[in-house]
Chain A
Amino acid sequence: MSTAFLEITHGTAVPRERVPDLAFDHFRKEALDIVEGGGKIVQFFAYKDGETVKLLALLRNGKLLVAGCDAPETYPAMSRQCEPFHMFEREIAEQFGIRPEGHPWLKMVRYHPNFMDRTDIFGNDYTDDIPGNYDYYSVDGPEIHEVAVGPVHAGVIEPGHFRFNCIGERVLHLEIQLGYQHRGIETLIPQVKAKRLPLLAESIAGDTTVGHSLCMAQAMEAFSAIEPDRGARIIRTIALELERIQNHVGDLGALSGDVAFLPPMNYCGRMRGDFLNMSLLLCGNRFSKGLIRPGGVLFSMDDEVRATMAQRITEITPQVKHVIELLFSTSSVRSRFEDCGTVSQSDAEHLGLVGPAGRACGLPYDVRRCFPSEHYPELDIPENAEPSGDVYARAKVRADEILQSIDIIQSLLNDPVQTDCVKPAELSMAPDSLAVTLNEAWRGEVSHCVLTDAAGSIMRYKIKDPSFHNWNGLSLSLRDTGISDFPLNNKSYNLSYCGFDL
Chain B
Amino acid sequence: MLNTLKNRFEQGYRTTQYPREKIELWKRYRGRPQIHKDAPADLAQACADACPQDAIAAKKHVIDMGRCVFCGACERLSKGRYVSFTRDFEISVSEKEHLVTDGSLPDLAAHARQHFKKLFGRSLQLRQVSAAGCNACEADLNVLATPFFDLARFGINFVASPRHADGIVVTGPISRNMKTALFQTYEAVPDPKIVVAVGSCALTGGPFRGSPEITEGLDSLLPVDLYIPGCPPHPLTNLHALLTFFK
Contacts and interface: CB of A to CB of B under 8 A. Distances in A.
B28 A280 contact: yes
Contact of A159 (B52, B76, B181): B181
B26 A129 contact: no
Interface in A101-126: 110-112
Contact of B213 (A112, A272, A282): A112
A424 B181 contact: no
A180 interface: yes
B177 A129 contact: yes
Contact of B173 (A183, A250, A496): A183
A34 interface: no
Contact of A180 (B142, B160, B178, B185): B178
B70 A183 contact: no
B143 A273 contact: yes
Interface residues of B, number: 71
Interface stretch (B36-44, B56-64, B99-107, B123-131): B123-131
B7 A322 contact: yes
B132 A263 contact: no
Given A280-B26, A283-B28, A326-B4, A157 B52 contact: no
Contact of A322 (B10, B71, B131, B178): B10
A326 B185 contact: no
Contacts of B14: 270
B143 A287 contact: no
Interface stretch (B90-98, B110-118, B133-141, B239-247): B133-141
B10 A319 contact: yes
Contacts of B134: 203-207, 498
Interface in A352-405: none
A29 interface: no
B206 interface: yes
Given A156-B138, A270-B148, A273-B143, A263 B50 contact: no
A184 interface: yes
A180 B141 CA distance: 20
B194 interface: no
Contacts of B178: 151, 159, 180-181
Contacts of B201: 203
Nearest to B6: A322
Contacts of B231: 203, 285, 289
Contact of B214 (A183, A263, A270, A280): A183
B72 to A, nearest CB: 6
B7 A158 contact: no
Contacts of B138: 156-158, 206
Contacts of A157: 130, 135, 138, 142
A179 B177 contact: yes
A152 B162 CA distance: 10
Interface string B39-81: 0000000000011110000000000000001111100110000
B17 to A, nearest CB: 15
B210 A192 contact: yes
Interface in B197-234: 201, 206-208, 210-214, 231-232, 234
A2 to B, nearest CB: 43
Contacts of B176: 112, 129, 182
A305 B135 CA distance: 27
A290 B71 contact: yes
A195 B51 CA distance: 8
A228 B139 CA distance: 31
A329 B131 CA distance: 39
Contact of A184 (B4, B147, B214): B214
**Which of B70, B143, B145 gathers most chain A CB within 10 Å?**
B143
Contacts of B73: 195, 424
B11 A319 contact: yes
A198 interface: yes
B28 A299 contact: yes
A187 B131 CA distance: 19
A266 interface: yes
A329 B135 contact: no
Contact of A498 (B11, B129, B135, B162): B135
A202 B7 contact: no
A154 interface: yes
A191 B212 CA distance: 12
A155 interface: yes
B175 interface: yes
Interface in A292-307: 298-299, 305
Contacts of A202: 207
Given A129-B179, A184-B214, A323-B7, A203 B207 contact: yes
A302 B114 CA distance: 47
A206 B181 contact: no
Contacts of A158: 130, 133, 135, 138
A130 interface: yes
B72 A290 contact: yes
B70 A152 contact: no
B71 A269 contact: no
B82 interface: no
A12 interface: no
Contacts of A154: 160-161
B207 A199 contact: yes
Given A129-B179, A183-B175, A152 B7 contact: no
B181 A286 contact: no
Given A154-B161, A203-B208, A323-B7, A424 B173 contact: no
A24 interface: no
A200 interface: yes
B210 A159 contact: no
A298 B72 contact: yes
A282 B26 CA distance: 10
B213 A183 contact: yes
Shortest 10 CB-CB distances between A and B: which pairs?
Answer: A206-B136, A269-B146, A206-B134, A184-B213, A154-B160, A284-B28, A199-B207, A184-B211, A195-B52, A156-B128
7 contacts: A180-B132, A198-B52, A269-B147, A270-B147, A284-B28, A289-B231, A290-B71
Interface of B: 3-4, 6-8, 10-11, 14, 25-26, 28-30, 50-53, 69-73, 76-77, 128-143, 145-148, 158, 160-162, 172-173, 175-181, 185, 201, 206-208, 210-214, 231-232, 234-235
